[in-house]
Structure 1
Amino acid sequence: MSQDMHFDLVILGILVAFIVYSLLTRAVDRSLLTLPIIFMCLGYALSEPLRSAAPPEVLNQGKRLLAEITLVLVLFSDASHVQFSQLKQSWRIPARMLLIGLPLSILLGMLVTWLISPEGGIAMALLTAAVLTPTDAALGQNVVTSANVPEKLSETINVESGLNDGLVLPFVLLGAILASAGMAGANTGGLALEAALQIVLGPLAGIATGWVVARLMDVAQARRWIVASAEGVVFLAASFAAYVLAGVIGGNGFIAAFVAGMIFGNSYKHNIRFVREFMEGAGLLLTMSSFLVFGALLLPDGLAHASLKTVLIAVMFLTVVRVGAIWLSLTGSGLKTSEKLFLGWFGPRGLASILFTLVIIDEFEFPDEAELLACVSMTVALSILVHGLSSTPLARWIGKRPAR
């Protein structure tokens, strides 16, 4: 069998899996299985056939392109659904988790990583903590959608996961630049200035793109110039316009996409349902592909370099670091102990950590890159399993807790 035919058969198998999963989505929702569990395991099973069917450079280029496309769309989409007007009555808990809990998670994670693996240095500890801080509500989707979970908790989880991937981006960028500079032995002063410019100019590109596109769409809607099928095209183009504009002016494109989504979602005066509809269709395909790529290309390499240290770091991030930071951030919030533990536990690591890792490993060179990959792989794989399998039972548990 020729290599081309082998590759075609692997791709055909993947497409069949996409079709079968889509046909059984309702049945899967009623089970303990989740999309990340299914496609991570499928990707791992297809790892060897996929690697033998395609040249390494093709796989590397493909996974980088997939990561960039998915990350831009996820950042824009998540931010666009956080409506500031709707948070006026319930902003305190998400704000505590984002403004206090997120920096604490990075600080505690950096400390834990450095204590367990001091040879990597502070910069690699910062990068590891930043990559492993953002949460992914999709890994515990049953918690978000369950009628058993109090609305204030499910809304908090949604808001936090929608915003923390964008808010953590500057820390990821800073950690990557400092770690890379340390390896090269270069002067970090110029790199720090470059990072600062990217962090400042990225939001400016996002603000401009989000506001202008929102105004143009409002005009088109008011004058009935636009058909419903074209609204998703505007969302898609606006996401990448912010990303490209940031690159042109020297800003960070991912930060720009996140800020553009936030500005667009809060400036657009009409119904924004088309963003959700697009992400439920094409976005679902990208999500399946991302977890499959994680299982096929990242997880095997991560397992190959896994050690007691990387497993310990992964467990600490999913327990002590996350739960401790959220618990501290919610002190004095009025929440019950069970609710604090529930919010602390449901900080699953998934899509953002995968995508950040794919992008920065391709763009930068670090010392102990294999250990970073192992830490991310172990943390995400454990999170996919434990958070996915515990979401339904714990949703029922929190629903049975007595109200205040």
Structure 2
Amino acid sequence: MTQKRDEVKVTGVTECMRISMTSEATSFVIAFATLLFVFSLVSRKISGTVVTAPMIFVAAGLLLSPEGLDLVELSAGSSFVLLVAEVALVLTLFADASRIELRALGQKGGLQNRLLFLGLPLVIFTGTASAAVIFTDLTLPEAALLGAILAPTDAGLGQTIVNNPKLPIRARQGLNIESGLNDGGAIPFFIFFLVLASGEELNQPIGTLLSLALEQIGFGAFVGIALGLLGGWLSGRASRAGWTSELYHRIEFLALAITSWLVADGIGGSGFVAAFLAGMASGAMGRRVEEEEIIFTEAEGSILSLAVFFIFGVVTATRLSAIGFSEIVYAVLSLTAIRMVPVAISLIGTKLHRETVLFLGWFGPRGLASVVLLLIAIEEAEGIQGLETISLVVTTTVLLSVFAHGISANPASEWYSRRVAALPEDAPELGEVKELPARPEFNAPENPQGNSREKTQ
């Protein structure tokens, strides 16, 4: 009889949790869909102002949260929240990697290699060292995990800069390629430090932890490259044979991104590494993936990215009171010295002017990737003692970045464009490089795909 009552109790609790999760998801979807519709109506009107879409969706999340109007309630550990965030990052990783040609990494005069292969590791190292000094309660692996989470920049938050024709192509393309690829480049570091921090709590041998991290990265890379090459080849053959309609030719890359993620995750690999490399490999079959082909993947990713910013606002509202002076100090350093010094070091020898180095260093906004990596850490490493500190620091940094970079984008662009106009014709900033398509802005007033293609022709 007691066992039966226990079974009924467990069933009741499970049912209540299911109903609660359904209610949370329903209220979120209604609120987000309404906000998305209203924003769509005025998106062209606010384009060019200091107000950006991420700012609006984060602010709306804060307003509608339990700390505000109490219309939407979400938990950072919710499986629904994690699913939305993961899909958004998967589609973004795939689309960005598809858009950036591998040949672009080798083009003469480009700044991307310096920013990616020297700047990114230095940002992680500097962020780790700063966290270890400021937060003495963090272990070294936990400090490194924080550094890795805040290393990638958000391409969507920086598109106002990348799409501004007043700015020199060399600087714009450096930021475009860096922001498109550094989130994928930071993920292996994140995986390694997450495994290391988690294993330290469980007293696992370093050899075992290293093997587990390499296994996740290796399996993810294998699945991503294999499915990307196969998918790109099949897509090309079907397209040339006239078997695929235009509509489904666009959808197939969306399917390839999701498949790569889930297959890699299913065999113990990193789905994010798989999605990133699948996007890169899909364009390696003798042709570049055109904007029209990934427009569905890109559109879905953009919508889900806004959903993540809305979720971020809702979840952040309950944490604002816990943010202390140390978190604010680190957040300010993360957006300034921790980013700017490594960028300056990576650009030594380019002879770029001080204003250019400062401009490139400032525009490294933190956003989608950092939020998603934090949610994954919360989900997979609950035993990490410093997780609360890491969570507060990442939340503070992203919140500050969304508004600081959004508000400063247009004024800083005008300031820098005036500086560039005064430079001599042989200034290194004015060197010619091939302009690649950039991710469309959240509230772009025109069709960005069309503009990007015209520039590359």
**TM-score, normalised via structure 2 length:** 0.83
The letter for the 2-side match of 1:230 is Y
Residues 45 and 214 of structure 1: CA distance in aligned 2, closer, same or farther (over 3 Å)? same
Give 3-state SS (helix, strand or coil) of 1:323's partner: helix
Residues 335 and 252 of structure 1: CA distance in aligned 2, closer, same or farther (over 3 Å)? same
TM-superposed CA distance for 1:212, in Å, is 0.3
**Quick check: 1:259 aligned with 2:264?**
no
Tell me what 1:309 maps to.
Answer: 326
Kept in 1: contact 2:254–2:297 (CA 8 A)? no
Tell me what 2:184 maps to.
Answer: 166
Tell me what 2:437 maps to.
Answer: none
Give 3-state SS (helix, strand or coil) of 2:284's partner: helix
Residues 137 and 45 of structure 1: CA distance in aligned 2, closer, same or farther (over 3 Å)? same
Residue range with higher mean Cα deviation, 191-200 or 212-221: 191-200
Task: Name the Cα RMSD after superposition.
Answer: 2.4
- 1:171-205 Cα shifts (integer Å, max 9, x gaps): 11111111112223333432221111112221111
Tell me what 1:329 maps to.
Answer: 346
C-alpha distance in structure 1 between counterparts of 2:24 and 2:138, whole Å: 40
**Quick check: 1:287 aligned with 2:309?**
no
TM-superposed CA distance for 1:8, in Å, is 5.3
C-alpha distance in structure 2 between counterparts of 1:115 and 1:394, whole Å: 31
Residues 276 and 247 of structure 1: CA distance in aligned 2, closer, same or farther (over 3 Å)? closer
Tell me what 2:254 maps to.
Answer: 236
Kept in 2: contact 1:148–1:398 (CA 8 A)? no
Tell me what 2:370 maps to.
Answer: 353
Within the candidate set 272, 286, 292, 1:274 is matched to 292
Kept in 1: contact 2:99–2:291 (CA 8 A)? no
C-alpha distance in structure 2 between counterparts of 1:146 and 1:173, whole Å: 35
The correspondence of residues 214-229 of structure 1 with structure 2, limited to 5 A, is 214-229=232-247
Residue range with higher mean Cα deviation, 237-246 or 63-72: 237-246
TM-superposed CA distance for 1:279, in Å, is 4.2
Tell me what 1:126 maps to.
Answer: 144
Kept in 2: contact 1:302–1:375 (CA 8 A)? no
The letter for the 2-side match of 1:181 is G
The correspondence of residues 60-79 of structure 1 with structure 2, limited to 5 A, is 60-79=78-97
Tell me what 2:391 maps to.
Answer: 373
Residue range with higher mean Cα deviation, 278-287 or 149-158: 278-287
Tell me what 1:201 maps to.
Answer: 219
Within the candidate set 396, 408, 427, 1:390 is matched to 408
C-alpha distance in structure 2 between counterparts of 1:75 and 1:325, whole Å: 24
Give 3-state SS (helix, strand or coil) of 1:168's partner: helix
Give 3-state SS (helix, strand or coil) of 2:158's partner: helix
Tell me what 2:100 maps to.
Answer: 82
Residues 171 and 59 of structure 1: CA distance in aligned 2, closer, same or farther (over 3 Å)? closer
Kept in 1: contact 2:77–2:375 (CA 8 A)? no
Kept in 2: contact 1:72–1:257 (CA 8 A)? yes
Tell me what 1:340 maps to.
Answer: 357
Within the candidate set 206, 213, 231, 2:231 is matched to 213
Kept in 2: contact 1:40–1:292 (CA 8 A)? yes
TM-superposed CA distance for 1:86, in Å, is 4.0
Give 3-state SS (helix, strand or coil) of 2:151's partner: coil
**Quick check: 1:363 aligned with 2:380?**
yes
TM-superposed CA distance for 1:134, in Å, is 0.2
Identity of aligned residues (%): 33
Residue range with higher mean Cα deviation, 259-268 or 379-388: 259-268
Give 3-state SS (helix, strand or coil) of 2:283's partner: helix
The letter for the 2-side match of 1:325 is P
Residues 248 and 61 of structure 1: CA distance in aligned 2, closer, same or farther (over 3 Å)? closer
The letter for the 2-side match of 1:254 is F
Alignment length (residue pairs): 402
Unaligned runs of 5+ in 1: none
Larger helix proportion, structure 1 or 2?
Answer: 1
Residues 163 and 257 of structure 1: CA distance in aligned 2, closer, same or farther (over 3 Å)? same
- 1:71-99 Cα shifts (integer Å, max 9, x gaps): 11111111111112344434641100111
Residues 5 and 310 of structure 1: CA distance in aligned 2, closer, same or farther (over 3 Å)? closer
Give 3-state SS (helix, strand or coil) of 1:137's partner: coil
Residues 42 and 52 of structure 1: CA distance in aligned 2, closer, same or farther (over 3 Å)? closer
Kept in 2: contact 1:105–1:325 (CA 8 A)? yes
Give 3-state SS (helix, strand or coil) of 1:266's partner: coil
Kept in 1: contact 2:91–2:300 (CA 8 A)? no
C-alpha distance in structure 1 between counterparts of 2:277 and 2:26, whole Å: 39
C-alpha distance in structure 2 between counterparts of 1:312 and 1:29, whole Å: 32
C-alpha distance in structure 1 between counterparts of 2:127 and 2:215, whole Å: 26
C-alpha distance in structure 2 between counterparts of 1:400 and 1:79, whole Å: 32
Residue range with higher mean Cα deviation, 29-38 or 186-195: 186-195
TM-superposed CA distance for 1:271, in Å, is 4.8
Residues 305 and 267 of structure 1: CA distance in aligned 2, closer, same or farther (over 3 Å)? farther
C-alpha distance in structure 1 between counterparts of 2:327 and 2:214, whole Å: 31
Give 3-state SS (helix, strand or coil) of 2:139's partner: helix
Residues 270 and 227 of structure 1: CA distance in aligned 2, closer, same or farther (over 3 Å)? farther
Kept in 2: contact 1:179–1:367 (CA 8 A)? no
